Amino acid sequence: MVRATVIGSGPNGLAAAVALARAGYRVEVLEAASTVGGGVRTLPGPLPGFAFDVCSAVHPVVTSSPFFRAFGISERVDWITPEISYAHPLDGGRAAIAWRDIDRTAAGLGADAAAWYAHVRPLARRIDGVSDFTGHALLRLPRDPITAARFGIRTLEQGTPLARATLRTEAGAALMAGVMAHANAPLPSPAASAAGLMLAAHGHASGWPYPRGGAQRIADALIADLEAHGGSIRTDEHVRDLSRLDWGDPARGDLLLLNTSPRLALTHPDIPAGYARALRAYRYGPAAAKVDFALDGPVPWTNPDVALAPTVHVGGTRDEVWASERAVARGSVSDRPYVLVVQPSVLDDARAPAGKAVLWAYIHVPAGSELDATELITRQVERFAPGFRDRVLASAAVPASAREAINPSEIGGDVLGGAFTLRQAFRRPVLSPSPWRTPMRGVYLASAATPPGPGVSGMSGWLAARTALADARLPHELPDLF
In the three-class reduction of DSSP (H, G, I as helix; E, B as strand; rest coil), residue 427 is classed as strand
Q: How far apart are CA 140 and CA 224, in angstroms?
A: 34
Q: How far apart are CA 474 and CA 472, in angstroms?
A: 5
CB crowding 124-156: b at 16 or more within 10 Å, else e: bebbbbbbbbbbbbeeeebebeebbebbeebbe
> What is the structure's pLDDT at 476?
86
Q: DSSP assignment, residue 234? A: E
Residue 449 above 80 pLDDT? Answer: yes
Query: Helices 127-134 and 145-158: crossing angle, nearest 10°?
Result: 80
> What is the structure's pLDDT at 164?
94
Residue 140 above 80 pLDDT? Answer: no
Q: How far apart are CA 13 and CA 273, in angstroms?
A: 26
Asked if 446 contacts 461 with a C-beta cutoff of 8 angstroms, the reply is: yes
Output the pTM of the full model.
0.96
How far from 232 is each of 72, 121, 170, 223, CA to CA, in Å? 21, 43, 52, 8
SS3 per residue for 340-409: EEECHHHCCCCCCCCCCEEEEEEEEECCCCCCCCHHHHHHHHHHHCCCHHHHEEEEEEECHHHHHHHCCC
> What is the structure's pLDDT at 422?
85
63-69-73-76 Cα dihedral, nearest 10 degrees: 130
C-alpha angle 156/160/161, rounded to 5°? 140
Going along the chain from its start, the domains and CATH numbers come out as 3-37+212-282+414-481 (3.50.50.60)
Q: How far apart are CA 380 and CA 64, in angstroms?
A: 33
Q: How far apart are CA 216 and CA 174, in angstroms?
A: 31
Helix/strand/coil percent split, the chain, to 5: 45, 15, 40
Q: How far apart are CA 437 and CA 465, in angstroms?
A: 10
Residues in the chain: 482
Tell me: the pLDDT tens digits for 90-122?
A: 999 999 999 999 999 999 999 999 999 999 999
Q: How far apart are CA 59 and CA 457, in angstroms?
A: 8
Asked if 288 contacts 413 with a C-beta cutoff of 8 angstroms, the reply is: yes
Give the containing element (helix H, strand E) for 192. Answer: helix 190-204
18-22-25-29 Cα dihedral, nearest 10 degrees: 20
Classify residue 478 as exposed, middle or buried by CB count within 10 Å of its CB (0-12, 13-18, 19+): middle
Tell me: the pLDDT tens digits for 306-332?
A: 999 999 999 999 999 999 999 999 999
How far from 261 is each of 240, 339, 411, 449, CA to CA, in Å? 11, 26, 7, 7
> What is the structure's pLDDT at 334?
97
- In the structure, how many helices (H) and strands (E) does the chain have? 18, 16
> What is the structure's pLDDT at 171?
98
Tell me which residue of 242, 153, 213, 164 sits closest to 445, measured CA to CA.
Answer: 242
Asked if 361 contacts 291 with a C-beta cutoff of 8 angstroms, the reply is: yes
pLDDT band, residue 139 (cuts 50/70/90): low
pLDDT averaged over the chain?
96
> What is the structure's pLDDT at 73?
97
Tell me which residue of 77, 127, 68, 136 sits closest to 102, measured CA to CA.
Answer: 127
Q: How far apart are CA 390 and CA 376, in angstroms?
A: 15
Percent of the chain having pLDDT more than 70?
A: 100
CA 345 from centroid of its chain's CA atoms: 20
Q: How far apart are CA 265 and CA 257, in angstroms?
A: 10
Residues in CB range of 357: below 8 A, 6 or more apart: 295, 296, 297, 298, 299, 343, 345, 346, 391
Q: Mean pLDDT throughout 406-416?
A: 94
Tell me: the pLDDT tens digits for 38-54?
A: 999 999 999 999 999 99
Q: Mean pLDDT throughout 248-262?
A: 97
In the three-class reduction of DSSP (H, G, I as helix; E, B as strand; rest coil), residue 132 is classed as helix
